[in-house]
Chains A and B, each alone.
Chain A
């Protein structure tokens, strides 16, 4: 099946700094990628839909200026958590759709101190 990678797999940062997370589709092109957030032992919450070459679509309650999404190519979407705070600590997961199926990345664990 299709493979989606994320980098980094985990990151620790200081409060107030920005963190960039990359999501790549390794063997297919994805005009649309999705970013989810998962809290411990909870479900995935859709944050935004990343569209190649255009602006991302954010879900209600997700601050677009806080979570910057860039989808500059058909195989790469990035999520930048700006001015991170401890409450942004979470597990961030991206996915991309190929032949009708969504494939998920392994996730990035962010810890903001």
Chain B
């Protein structure tokens, strides 16, 4: 079965601390993995996709097929990073919907 698991509902860190938001997935084929972010009162925005292997706003995520994980990391958290983060997967074909994890709220305080 297709499934995305985000084990942490809430992650609270201090400004400047490292951040790791965990994501594990279950999929029978070769999925595309994404991280989406939802800031307060804003729409869902794409943060990262694994195939592009880029860093956005200091965040990176590496797909580990052996551990079926796609954890999101940032070395130094900023207060403006506070938001809801969703890990999602897609079958990769056009017309395939995203399957979302339950999301992790990141709270960064000074």
Contacts and interface: CB of A to CB of B under 8 A. Distances in A.
Interface of A: 1, 31-32, 34, 42-46, 49, 51, 93, 95, 97, 100-107
Contacts of A42: 102-103
Interface in B43-85: 43-46, 49
B4 to A, nearest CB: 9
Given A49-B95, A97-B95, A101-B49, A43 B101 contact: yes
15 contacts: A32-B95, A34-B97, A42-B103, A43-B102, A43-B103, A45-B100, A46-B97, A49-B97, A51-B95, A93-B44, A101-B46, A102-B46, A102-B90, A104-B44, A104-B45
Determine the interface band of chain B, counting residues with CB < 8 A from chain A.
10 to 19
Interface of B: 32, 36, 42-46, 49, 86, 90, 94-95, 97-103
For the complex of A and B, list the 4 residue pairs with the smallest distance between their C-beta atoms, beginning with the closest.
Answer: A104-B44, A32-B95, A43-B102, A106-B43
A102 B98 CA distance: 8
Nearest to A93: B44
Contacts of A105: 43
Contacts of B98: 34, 44, 46, 95, 102
A107 B43 contact: yes
A42 B105 CA distance: 10
Contacts of A31: 95
A61 B101 CA distance: 19
Given A43-B86, A43-B100, A44-B86, A97 B94 contact: yes
Contacts of A93: 43-44
Contacts of B102: 42-43
